[in-house]
Amino acid sequence: MLRLILPALLLPALAFSQTRRARMLDTFDAETFGAQQEDGRTIVLQFHSSNCELCVAQERLLGEFARETDPTTPSFFQADMGSQGNLATLYGAKPSSLLVFRGKMLVGQETGLTRREAILELITKSVMRSRGLPRPRPKRDFKPKR
């Protein structure tokens, strides 16, 4: 009997611990976001949903990026799909969407990136494109004939 009751009591506690995780990114605030845009900063905005596995993986990686002390590190914000639905509609974002802003200009947007290299590539290419710099050339797999 105890074997049946104990799991029934522990299951809600485990579910609650999964939903009550600490926030790693700043919550979207229009005033702070606008001030950073006025300064011309690079900003990464993540759209998050509580039942999205990709969002949790992204949040972990973006939290690591946000802890870096490099002055070129962008600012990271997180918008909740439930409470910030109008913002998601404005940009056509879905859960796990990443938007990269350079100042007030949207310069990059991707959905579903969960690898560190892919997220860094999105940020780097978006910023390079916004600066007007040439895109990096891919490495050649062959040598040209002479």
Listed by start position, the domains of the chain span 23-129
Cα(44)–Cα(71) distance, integer angstroms:
15
Helices (H), 1-146: 2-19, 30-38, 53-67, 85-91, 116-131
Give the contacts of 95 (CB within 8 A, at least 6 positions apart).
Answer: 47, 48, 49, 52, 54, 55, 81
pLDDT band, very low/low/confident/very high, at 134 (cuts 50, 70, 90):
low
Q: pLDDT value at position 1?
A: 52
3-state secondary structure of 107: strand
Task: Decide which of 3.50.50.100, 3.40.50.11900, 3.40.50.720, 3.40.30.10 is the CATH code for 23-129.
Answer: 3.40.30.10
Of the candidates 1, 89, 2, 88, the one whose C-alpha atom is nearest the C-alpha of residue 45 is 88
| pTM, full prediction | 0.72
What are phi and psi for residue 55, nearest 5 degrees? -65, -40
Block residue for tokens 């895109």: 135
Q: How many CB atoms within 10 Å of residue 49? A: 16
Residue-wise pLDDT for 56-74, tens only, equals: 999 999 999 888 867 778 9
